[in-house]
Amino acid sequence: MINLELLKQAVMDSRDGITITDARRSDLPIIFANPAFERMTGYPLDRLVGHPCGIMRPAEDASADAARTVLDDGDGCEATFASRRRDGSRFWNEVSISPIYEADGTLTHYIGIHKDVTQRVLLERELRSKTRDLATANAELEKLVALDALTGIYNRRHFDERLAVLWEFAARNADPIALFFIDIDHFKHYNDAFGHPAGDRALVQVAQRLAEIFQRGSDVLARYGGEEFVVLASGMAREPAARFAQRLCERIEALELPNPEAPGARLTISVGHVVVTPKAGMRPAEAVERADRALFEAKTSGRGRAVGAVEVA
């Protein structure tokens, strides 16, 4: 049997705060606290004995209430919650509470082992904050890598990546994919006539107008290079794709950007489109090539129009 004097000395010399509370009273008053607990809280023993541990807890802290609910069931618990020293300063108290029972099973007291873990909690919070900041920065970086710097829509690299993913998905589900290749007509002449800054503004306006048309979360609109844009629309059949292609031509012409070289002296686009239902052995490049050929046909047959390729089934 351990010597009681040794046990008492161990409790008094412990670097952790130790308290004993009366479980027979609803407010759980402290009946004992060791010197480490006095140093931790700033309260002398005579200000602790007879008072509930709640004198150290900020009123808005709810974690200690949750711990109290567990204690009311006669169970022990471990919790970390905000506490308040006598001088009003805050600290984080990590406490392990165990019930003490009489021989007949009556709950009489709780013993609490308290640690000031303020530095650890603050470091953990700082780490979480930095982790969130890093995640935000990485997300912004990924976004920048995926976007075209001028127009703010996706770039060709991101389009190629999304096409590969959505192609596999469509193949598994036998879903159609519509591809639209879009080229601004006589854009070199537009730049020559109005200057490259005006050309850049025109590219932005065209991109914005296209984005207004393709608003589904599954649609992928990208600047493919120069004055060429591309759209991937999952689940779109041939007839809706043809209507969309014609609508693209109309909506861009409705911008009423002057272009002396274009039909009607307005900036226009040519559109080549194809609908593909991917199957085993088919590659995305086949659909891209067909849409590109359809665009070439639209350009060589007068511009300012949409041409659909033969559907790839």
Q: Exposed (0-12), middle (13-18) or buried (19+): which is 60, by Cβ within 10 Å? A: exposed
Nearest residue to 71 (alpha-carbon basis) of 90, 53, 93? 53
Per-residue confidence (pLDDT) for residue 63, from 0 to 100: 55
Residue 56 and residue 44: Cα distance in Å, rounded? 13
Cα-based torsion angle of the residue sequence 152, 153, 154, 155 in order, rounded to the nearest 10 degrees: -70
Residues of the chain with pLDDT under 50: 59
pTM summary value: 0.59
Domain ranges (residues) in the chain: 4-122, 147-308
Residue type, 243: R
CA-to-CA separations, 115 to 21, 76, 112, 138, in angstroms, rounded: 17, 16, 10, 37
Measured at the CA of 34, the angle between CA 32 and CA 35, to 5 degrees, comes to 140
Domains 4-122 and 147-308 fall in the same CATH topology: no
pLDDT tens per residue across span 202-239:
999 999 999 998 888 888 999 999 999 999 999 998 99
Per-residue confidence (pLDDT) for residue 27, from 0 to 100: 85
Residue whose token pair is 């004198």: 55
Nearest residue to 63 (alpha-carbon basis) of 121, 143, 105, 136? 121
- Judge contact between 240 and 185, C-beta under 8 A: no
| SS3 of residue 283 by DSSP | coil
Per-residue confidence (pLDDT) for residue 4, from 0 to 100: 84
Residue 307 and residue 297: Cα distance in Å, rounded? 7
CATH number for the domain formed by residue range(s) 147-308: 3.30.70.270
Which CATH superfamily does the domain covering 4-122 fall into? Answer: PAS domain (3.30.450.20)
